[in-house]
């Protein structure tokens, strides 16, 4: 798998975290750099760890599914991308930080958000193991891209909010579906 493809996968995976970061940033009246860095660190670390977990799990199942790996890769990426696309069109309730509501920058809340937004990366790691892709460089790239996108998302959220939030999540879903289709068509010899 080429570096550019892995970069596109990283961008696609980071869109959930980006959308949550924008929404979280919108709960602040002004940017607090430690909050942006903390959110980026949590999201980036979980996005880097989950593909490794998925990749390791996939190695154990490889002998059972080697003849169907391209279909599984296509299905997993399409399901993850489709879920992101669907969620980008759902109406989401806004949450304010402070008062009786939970603040997205609290460590407990941030851990839950980081796990929830990185489940997709687990499926991508599983796909990488089926495609016999080494995992360390992709995991680091996915983590770095997610860190940068999440920290930037908090900044964007504090300065103007929700204009990009759902559009970026939809774009991420379309990217993952496109990569899954490319894997399938490439294996079938279409290109």
pLDDT per residue over 147-166, tens digit each?
Answer: 999 999 888 888 875 555 56
Does pLDDT of 94 surpass 50?
no
Compute φ and ψ for 125, nearest 5 degrees.
-60, -40
Compute φ and ψ for 104, nearest 5 degrees.
-65, -10
pLDDT > 70: percent of the chain = 77
Whether 130 contacts 58, CB under 8 Å: yes
Distance set, CA 191 to CA 8, 10, 66, 142 (Å) = 19, 23, 21, 26
Whether 74 contacts 183, CB under 8 Å: yes
d(CA 28, CA 181): 39
Q: Render pLDDT for 107-155 as a digit per residue (tens, 0 to 9).
A: 887 888 788 778 888 888 988 988 888 999 999 999 999 999 999 988 8
Q: Rounded to a whole number, what is the distance in angstroms from the first to the last CA of the chain?
A: 15
Whether 26 contacts 158, CB under 8 Å: yes
E strands, 42-153, are none
Structure tokens at 51: 């593909």
pTM across the whole model: 0.71
């Amino acid at each position: 798998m080429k570096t550019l493809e892995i970069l596109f996968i990283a961008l696609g995976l980071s869109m959930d975290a980006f959308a949550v970061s924008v929404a979280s940033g919108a709960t602040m009246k002004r940017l607090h750099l430690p909050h942006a860095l903390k959110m980026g660190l949590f999201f980036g670390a979980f996005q880097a760890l989950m593909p490794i977990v998925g990749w390791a799990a996939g190695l154990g199942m490889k002998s059972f599914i080697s003849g169907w790996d391209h279909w599984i890769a296509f299905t997993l990426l399409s399901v993850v991308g489709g879920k992101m696309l669907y969620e980008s069109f759902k109406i989401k309730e806004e949450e304010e930080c402070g008062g009786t509501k939970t603040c997205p920058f609290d460590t407990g809340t941030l851990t839950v958000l980081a796990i929830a937004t990185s489940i997709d990366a687990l499926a991508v790691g599983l796909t990488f193991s089926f495609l016999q892709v080494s995992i360390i460089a992709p995991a680091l790239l996915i983590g770095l891209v997610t860190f940068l996108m999440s920290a930037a998302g908090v900044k964007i959220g504090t300065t103007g909010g929700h204009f990009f939030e759902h559009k970026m999540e939809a774009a991420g879903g379309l990217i993952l579906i496109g990569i899954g289709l490319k894997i399938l068509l490439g294996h079938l010899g279409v290109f």
